[in-house]
């Protein structure tokens, strides 16, 4: 048995434009100066509460909770008014997913997205049927807590040594370390490859073809 669990934002799809836009609206709605886009990209992958704590560390927990609620509302407004940009899959990723599925791999997703947000992305790209397990921040603690990854193991019956977590942030790599699962980083997301290696990634893929070779190595 082989199980490959993917992060979503920054690994499967490029959603940074929409995340930054929603974060800007969320802060503005509360009369706060929005954080720079580069800082927002640094927290992609965390649950909303954890992300707000990092973006506004001097604020109180109630403010963080209000910001998280404001972000959800902002994303909904952007979606309803058709102001969201397309969230394209990264080059070669669709072909990689198709190939792994055809080879008999089990595939999963562990993401800081909501259940609704993940479902919309997978349906938009027609890949919902590729995945045997889907776990989000709606039902689990924020990465790098291992809960989402451990749930994928439980859902599929895969052992730790039969699984790999693939992601673009140190939060993904940390989740793998916490779960005792090998982690592979990808360079095309929101954290640098050198950071991923320092966080404990077994390797970092330059592109989807390189990732395929690492998975089969």
pLDDT over 80 at 43, yes or no: yes
Residues 6 or more apart whose Cβ sits within 8 Å of residue 82: none
Q: What is the pLDDT of residue 85?
A: 78
pLDDT over 80 at 83, yes or no: no
Question: Which stretches does DSSP call E strand in the chain?
Answer: 3-6, 106-111, 133-136, 163-167, 182-186, 203-205
Report the alpha-carbon distance of residue 150 to residue 160 in Å, rounded: 9
Note whether 192 and 176 are within 8 A (CB).
Answer: no
Q: What is the pLDDT of residue 84?
A: 78
Report the alpha-carbon distance of residue 189 to residue 10 in Å, rounded: 4
Q: Give the pLDDT band (50/70/90) at residue 32.
A: very high
Q: What is the pLDDT of residue 188?
A: 97
Both structure tokens of 172 = 């993904």
Q: What is the pLDDT of residue 80?
A: 83
Report the alpha-carbon distance of residue 54 to residue 43 in Å, rounded: 7
Tell me how far CA of residue 29 lies from CA of 24, 25, 68, 123, in angstroms: 9, 6, 12, 30
Give residue-wise pLDDT tens across range 173-201.
999 999 999 999 999 999 999 999 999 99
Please count the residues of the chain. 217
Average pLDDT over residues 3-14: 97
Flag whether the pTM goes above 0.85: yes
Average pLDDT over residues 211-216: 96
Give residue-wise pLDDT tens across range 86-114.
899 999 999 999 999 999 999 999 999 99
Q: What is the pLDDT of residue 125?
A: 95
Q: Which domains occur in the chain, in start order?
A: 3-14+87-216 (3.40.50.1000), 16-80 (1.10.150)
Q: What is the pLDDT of residue 217?
A: 82
**Helix ranges restricted to H, 157-203:** 170-179, 193-199
Q: What is the pLDDT of residue 126?
A: 96
pLDDT over 80 at 82, yes or no: no
Higher-confidence residue of 43 and 86: namely 43
Note whether 127 and 96 are within 8 A (CB).
Answer: no
What single-letter DSSP state applies at residue 75?
Answer: H
Q: Average pLDDT of the chain?
A: 95
Q: Is 110 helix (H, G, I), strand (E, B) or coil?
A: strand
Residues 6 or more apart whose Cβ sits within 8 Å of residue 16: 9, 10, 37, 40, 41, 44, 190
């Amino acid at each position: 048995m082989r199980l490959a669990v993917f992060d979503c934002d920054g690994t499967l799809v490029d959603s940074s434009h929409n995340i930054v836009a929603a974060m800007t609206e969320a802060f503005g709605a509360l009369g706060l100066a929005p954080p720079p886009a580069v800082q927002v990209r640094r927290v992609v992958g965390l649950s909303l509460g954890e992300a707000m704590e990092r973006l506004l560390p001097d604020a109180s927990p109630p403010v963080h909770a209000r910001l998280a609620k404001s972000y959800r509302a902002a994303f909904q407004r952007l979606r309803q008014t058709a102001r969201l940009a397309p969230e394209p899959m990264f080059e070669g990723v669709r072909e990689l997913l198709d190939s792994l599925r055809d080879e008999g791999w089990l595939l999963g997703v562990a993401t800081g997205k909501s259940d609704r947000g993940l479902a919309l992305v997978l349906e938009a790209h027609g890949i919902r049927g590729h995945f045997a397990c889907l776990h989000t921040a709606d039902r689990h603690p924020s990465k790098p807590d291992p809960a989402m990854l451990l749930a994928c193991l439980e859902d599929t019956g895969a052992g730790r040594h039969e699984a790999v977590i693939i992601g673009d942030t140190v939060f993904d790599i940390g989740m793998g370390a916490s779960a005792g699962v090998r982690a592979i980083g990808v360079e095309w997301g929101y954290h640098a490859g050198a950071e991923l290696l320092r966080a404990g990634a077994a390797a970092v893929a330059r592109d989807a073809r390189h990732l395929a070779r690492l998975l089969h190595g």
